[in-house]
Chains A and B, each alone.
Chain A
Amino acid sequence: EAGVAQSPRYKIIEKRQSVAFWCNPISGHATLYWYQQILGQGPKLLIQFQNNGVVDDSQLPKDRFSAERLKGVDSTLKIQPAKLEDSAVYLCASSLLRSQRTGRTEAFFGQGTRLTVV
């Protein structure tokens, strides 16, 4: 099966600029996650969608970050304006709904987008 696709792979921007990341999950996966992974740390959940609804965005810095998942498929994550501390790898992952799962419960990850804010 095709994996989770993310673009771009790399992005360098200046602070206070805007940036957007795109994610295409595995076909049929209702749940989509955006994670931020800062160097030396584990992934930190930013937002979780179930179809096109938000399940959890408690750790999303809403003053500068936004995300949407139109039609319950692709998703975009935006940062506006970016800060130096936003430099990280942004990971998108998808999984089946728990009710859909028959033993397979893992999240599948994209390659990530490495953001450098200078």
Chain B
Amino acid sequence: AQRVTQPEKLLSVFKGAPVELKCNYSYSGSPELFWYVQYSRQRLQLLLRHISRESIKGFTADLNKGETSFHLKKPFAQEEDSAMYYCALTVDSNYQLIWGAGTKLIIKP
């Protein structure tokens, strides 16, 4: 069965430090992977998707099929990055999202 694992429930780093939020998935085929973010008191929203190979708000994520990972990275954290981050994947034509448990990122001033 497909699964998404985010091993860290909480990650706390200082402002200006690099950030890496880990995401591992289990799926034998070619998944479509996403990072969603939920800022305090806001709705869940898409941050980035692997097929776009884009950088959003300084964040990037590279799909590593060999390691089945899709870690989210940012070289210099900012206080406004504090939020809940969810990794998700979809593998079928019905676009059913399978979610990780989320990582709470806290950026300390």
Residues of A within 8 A of B (CB): 3-4, 31, 33, 40-45, 48, 50, 55-56, 91, 93, 95, 98, 103, 105-112
Contact = CB atoms under 8 A, between A and B. Distances in A.
A107 B88 CA distance: 11
Interface of B: 4, 9, 32, 34, 43-46, 49, 51-52, 86, 88, 90, 93-97, 99-102
Given A3-B43, A43-B44, A107 B97 contact: yes
Contacts of B51: 105
Given A3-B43, A106-B46, A112-B43, A31 B101 contact: no
Contact of A50 (B9, B34, B52, B94): B94
Contact of B95 (A98, A109, A112): A98
Nearest to B46: A106
Given A40-B101, A106-B34, A111 B96 contact: no
9 contacts: A3-B43, A31-B95, A43-B99, A98-B93, A98-B95, A103-B52, A109-B45, A112-B43, A112-B44
Contacts of A42: 4, 86, 88, 99-102
A107 B94 CA distance: 12
Contacts of A108: 45-46
A111 B49 contact: no
B43 A48 contact: no
Given A55-B94, A56-B96, A111 B43 contact: yes
A77 B32 CA distance: 28
Contacts of A43: 44, 86, 97, 99
Contacts of A31: 94-95
A4 B46 CA distance: 14
Given A111-B43, A112-B44, 6 more contacts: A31-B94, A40-B9, A42-B102, A50-B94, A106-B34, A107-B46
Contacts of A55: 94, 96
Contacts of B52: 103
